[in-house]
Amino acid sequence: MDAPSGDDAGRMEVADRTSRSSPWDESANIRVRLLRAQSQVERLEKDATIKGKSKATGAEFSYKGITAEQIVSKAKDVLIANGILYTTECLEQRTVSGNKTAVYMRGYFENVDNPADVLIRHAWGEGTDDADKGTAKATTNANKILLARTLNMSTTEYEGVDIVNHEPETRPAAVRQAEALSDAAVKSWADTYRTALDGCATLQQLRRVREENANMMKNPGVPMVTKDYFIDKITALEGVLEDDSPRTTQPPRGGPRNRIAATHDGGSA
């Protein structure tokens, strides 16, 4: 028998591939496929030593955990075996504070035999790093959480050989002062300031009271509406109070000649 031509061989190869059934149930929807994947995923083994240091005492500690590499590897096996395509998308990235980065990821678990049949999951992931790897670590953790939760895999909270302690971002003194300023403190100060302004009888007193409360008026913890109230009140008082600052005595206009004339008009010698 003559060997098939090139075109015939190609068609035979395609027909052969088409005739072979997929290793998964092509009629199953995505939820059924994921349920089967959950039942097939292998048990995770603690394959990492996590090290850290207590901020309170400075004492070092370590414990066994699970690497993201193991989670991804075992998840990949059962996803492929059940005809599930897994992809991710980063929806948001932010710096939490200091050297900690967070990302919000969306995971797509797609039925390869019906692309419209998709299960979508979401997860936050955080990464702490003193260099520029915070985003990569956060993405890795978000991916780990998406896979572990969807496939119902038991994990240990953070994985990695060396944990970088989170260093909070240094806040300006004004911000710390504002956070420490309670509503009760603002109200107490405002009542005292208003009483002092109401007691001013002269512009000089008004200036003194205003200077005494200048720092609180600049404090970011005082609501802007409160500041506006006092600004308007001071402006109104400036329009009605008298200035009691000492005045320089001016000599009579016209010089000695006018003073002499005034004397004669008064009948004095």
pLDDT in tens, 174-223: 555 555 556 778 888 888 998 999 899 898 999 999 999 998 898 877 88
Q: Where are the beta strands (DSSP E) in the chain?
A: 48-53, 60-65, 84-97, 100-111, 114-128
Same domain, 142 and 180: no
78 lies in some domain: yes
User: Which of 100, 105, 67 minimizes the C-alpha distance to 86?
Assistant: 105
179 lies in some domain: yes
Domain that residue 128 falls in: 23-150
Residue 245 pLDDT class (50, 70, 90 cuts): low
Find the CATH number of the domain harbouring 77: 3.30.390
Same domain, 189 and 127: no
For residues 41 and 29, give the distance between their C-alpha atoms in angstroms, rounded to a whole number: 18
Q: Which residues are registered as beta bridge partners of 162?
A: 51
Same domain, 39 and 140: yes
Same domain, 69 and 145: yes
| Candidate ranges 75-79, 152-156, 179-183, 227-231; pick with highest mean pLDDT | 75-79
Same domain, 35 and 85: yes
Which contacts (CB < 8 Å, 24+ apart) does range 21-28 have?
22/83, 22/113, 23/81, 23/83, 24/81, 24/82, 24/83, 26/83, 26/113, 28/82, 28/111
Same domain, 28 and 131: yes
For residues 40 and 32, give the distance between their C-alpha atoms in angstroms, rounded to a whole number: 13
- Last residue in a domain, options 98, 115, 150: 150
258 lies in some domain: no
Phi then psi for 89, rounded to 5 degrees?
-145, 130
202 lies in some domain: yes
- Can you tell me the mean pLDDT for 231-254? 70
Same domain, 28 and 141: yes
Report in angstroms the alpha-carbon separations of 144 from 2, 36, 66, 81, 107: 55, 19, 10, 19, 11
Same domain, 141 and 33: yes
189 lies in some domain: yes
Same domain, 96 and 192: no
Same domain, 126 and 199: no
pLDDT in tens, 127-182: 887 777 888 888 998 999 999 999 988 765 444 434 455 555 555 555 555 555 56
Report in angstroms the alpha-carbon separations of 209 from 158, 200, 205: 56, 8, 6
110 lies in some domain: yes
Residue 129 CB burial class (10 angstroms; 0-12, 13-18, ≥19): middle
Residue 84 pLDDT class (50, 70, 90 cuts): very high
Same domain, 114 and 35: yes
Tally of domains in the chain: 2
Same domain, 130 and 222: no
